[in-house]
Amino acid sequence: MSTHPPSPVPIAPSPVLSGDARSDFDLTESELHACLDLAAGIKSSPKSYSRALDGMVVSLLFEKPSLRTRITFEVAAKQLGGDSILYTGPIGGREPVKDVARNLERWTSMIVARTFSQTTVDELAAWSSSPVINALSDLYHPCQALADMLTLREHWGGFDGRTLAFVGDGNNVAHSLMLDCARLGVNFTCITPPGYEPSMEILAAARRFAAATGAAIRSTDSLEVGLAGANAVYTDVWASMGQEHEAAERARLFASYQVNAALMSMAAPGALFMHCLPAHREEETTDEVMESPVSVIFDQAENRLHAQKSLMLMLACGDKKD
């Protein structure tokens, strides 16, 4: 067996990871597998990639607060031999987004955008000749999903026959997870209160991907149906950033969907517990579950670093001019 770490596979011609299944900018099934393979190689041999982004500077545009996303992208750029610069505040507030994009492409090699709206990410990508990474929008959280798939592969050893159940709001994390599960052949069930289902358009796109891999992609309001046979149970906050005014009403409607010991017992024996963090302990999940032996929440957080390094390398490789 070769001991050489994997080399980046170029992502081309795509300049952006939007997470948007309706565009040409999403990772293909083969690119997704390659990204996970490279992430595993980086994790096992980080020094082999310590000069991979030598001389490159990454723009971090953050409209929303962040711990994991900001720190992991900053650390990733530095550990790959590059650097990053952070801008916080509205994107396109003082000048049009198309002008922001065309300024940044002159100074930096890549744009990472954490935005309130997917349209901001799409507009940056449309006007920038440098790669654009969606670090979170209202519709998608593709970098989180990449880290989650890496975490599941590490714990499961593979994806065949496995099922991931997402419990709570059919939000941006749920959307990216279902798209990745569909392309990797992982069965996915989104379990939500009535009225909080994932986007029907994104669900339909995931099912089109799943037609090629054999994955079952479902949406239901039944905990019993959705959790049966689940090998991992995933939850997220009930009210995301920008939805704080709905928090009280959501807390009432989502109360029976709290991931606690009783709910975990409805899944397959030994099912993993997952959360993208930050968590509201004793709301969407309990401290008991978060601190239990089946919790992999900090493996997920660590793997944000490795998955994002992999993505940055693949995009940088694909963006090189002959």
Question: Could you list the active site residues?
Answer: 114, 141, 144, 236, 276, 304
Could you tell me if 296 and 271 are in contact, meaning their C-beta atoms sit under 8 angstroms apart?
no
| Identity at 233, one-letter amino acid code | V
d(Cα 275, Cα 297) in Å, to the nearest integer?
6
Closest CA to 231 of 188, 198, 191, 290: 188
Q: Which residue is associated with the tokens 């607060």?
A: 65
Could you tell me if 59 and 110 are in contact, meaning their C-beta atoms sit under 8 angstroms apart?
yes
Per-residue exposure over 157-177, b if at least 16 CB sit within 10 Å of its own CB, e if not? eebeebbbbbbbbbbbbbbbb
Strands 83-88 and 110-114: unpaired
Closest CA to 55 of 303, 320, 308: 320
What three-state secondary structure class fits 97? helix
